[in-house]
């Protein structure tokens, strides 16, 4: 007797194709799956609420995130991009979708309108080399400095009309636009003593790490939008979208000026005939070192200045820190830095919440081993 269950046979040789929604309901279902799986780009859906946030906060964020993903999927469909490719190709700047540099190139290649599309980089090129590349001699005549002759370039030819376009973007152009960034460090927020503070951090901006690639993408943005305007349908690249919102072309993450603080107003004196409220009784018990149930107040529930411990702020900071962890080692470092085990050694509920937040981050970093 064969006790094996009846399973569908696996068939080899089937063609691989993307799942393409055909109506709004299917698009919404797919967008919901993407958001719930946590694979939607943060630039598109924003940061998740804290674990301790109210259910209505999570519901509101979920609707907005799902709507944003659906809009990107539909925008990508108009350009011939499958849903997951669209999510990797689009960003949102100033509330409007824009294509990354490689996304712009991908759309043009997939359109079938390009006979050829090439990108490259030249450092301190001779004027003869620039003319041979296809740049107009009048343009080359004005390229006299090293910065002006160090370029990323894009050359494309249409297959239907034979029209050719050669576009160059130089280091001098990037400096004029405020894009060039050759600083070794920048101002950024780092974690010290369980709180975020401003400090000098390694410069991780794209223009510092990948200047050659960024020059090429900038050249492609100008050239392809002009030559293939019918294909791109008015979609801008990320750089032009950043400039169009007015300022903020490059983010230096400079420290903001401190806000002006006003001293709090003194509390109104209580009426001598008014009975003590429950809150006043609780405050009195807290001053005596007791909870409402008579238990002693733990040292971990208060800071050194006598203020009560802010659980909401702690868990929000803890979750933000873990979200930036790239591997298990960094997760453990953050766990140790926040001193979770000692802080909540007498608070089982808070320790359990911290464990869940940590496990969730580890599962996101290792999805295969979390099942």
pLDDT at 236: 83
Determine the pLDDT at residue 75. Answer: 87
Cβ neighbours for 38, distance < 8 A, ≥ 6 positions apart? 364
The answer to whether 305 and 345 are in contact (CB under 8 A) is no
| Sites in the chain below the pLDDT cut of 50 | 247-267, 269-306, 369-371
Question: In sequence order, what are the residues at sequence separation of 6 or more whose Cβ sits closer than 8 angstroms to the Cβ of residue 121?
Answer: 151, 152, 153, 212, 215, 216
What pLDDT, on a 0 to 100 scale, did the predictor assign at position 136?
Answer: 93
| Cα 159 from Cα 56, distance rounded (Å) | 53
CA distances from 199 to 196, 298, 335 (A): 9, 33, 21
pLDDT value at residue 10: 65
Q: Are 92 and 103 in contact (CB under 8 A)?
A: no
Q: Which pTM value belongs to this model?
A: 0.58
Cα 333 to Cα 318: distance, rounded to the nearest angstrom: 12
Number of helices followed by number of strands (H, E) in the chain: 18, 7
pLDDT at 303: 42
Helix (H, G, I), strand (E, B) or coil at 121: strand
Residue 202 bridge partners (DSSP): 185
Which of 164, 144, 147 lies closest to 155, judged by CA?
A: 164
Q: Which residues are CB-contacts of 188 (< 8 A; sequence separation ≥ 6)?
A: 198, 199, 200, 201, 253
């Amino acid at each position: 007797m064969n006790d094996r269950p009846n399973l569908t046979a696996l068939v080899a040789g089937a063609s691989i194709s993307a799942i393409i929604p055909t109506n709004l309901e299917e698009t919404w279902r797919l967008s919901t799956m993407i958001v719930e799986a946590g694979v939607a780009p943060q630039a598109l859906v924003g940061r998740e609420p804290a674990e301790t946030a109210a259910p209505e906060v999570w519901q509101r964020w979920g609707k907005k995130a799902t709507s944003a993903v659906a809009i990107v999927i539909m925008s990508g469909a108009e350009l011939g991009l499958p849903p997951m490719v669209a999510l990797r190709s689009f960003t949102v700047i100033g509330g409007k979708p824009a294509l990354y540099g490689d996304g712009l190139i991908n759309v043009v290649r997939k359109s079938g309108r390009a006979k050829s599309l090439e990108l490259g980089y030249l450092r301190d090129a001779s004027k003869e080399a620039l003319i041979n590349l296809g740049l107009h001699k009048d343009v080359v005549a004005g390229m006299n400095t090293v910065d002006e002759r160090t370029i990323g370039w894009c050359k494309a030819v249409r297959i239907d009309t034979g029209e050719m376009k050669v576009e160059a973007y130089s280091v001098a152009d990037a400096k004029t636009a405020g894009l060039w960034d050759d600083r070794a460090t920048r101002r950024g927020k780092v974690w010290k003593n369980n709180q975020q503070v401003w400090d000098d951090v390694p410069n991780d901006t794209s223009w510092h790490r990948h200047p050659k690639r960024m020059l090429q993408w900038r050249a492609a943005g100008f050239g392809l939008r002009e030559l293939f305007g019918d294909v791109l349908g008015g979609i801008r690249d990320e750089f032009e979208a950043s400039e169009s919102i007015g300022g903020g072309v490059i983010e230096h993450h400079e420290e903001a000026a401190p806000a002006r603080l006003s001293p709090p107003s003194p509390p109104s004196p209580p009426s001598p005939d008014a009975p003590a409220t429950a809150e006043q009784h609780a405050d009195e018990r807290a001053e005596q070192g007791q909870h409402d149930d008579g238990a002693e107040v733990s040292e971990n529930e208060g800071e050194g200045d006598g203020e009560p411990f802010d659980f909401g702020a702690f868990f929000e900071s803890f979750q933000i820190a873990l979200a930036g962890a790239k591997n298990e080692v960094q997760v453990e470092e953050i766990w140790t830095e926040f001193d979770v085990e000692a802080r909540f050694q007498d608070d089982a509920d808070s320790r359990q919440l911290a464990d869940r937040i940590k496990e969730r981050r580890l599962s996101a970093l290792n999805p295969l081993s979390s099942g």
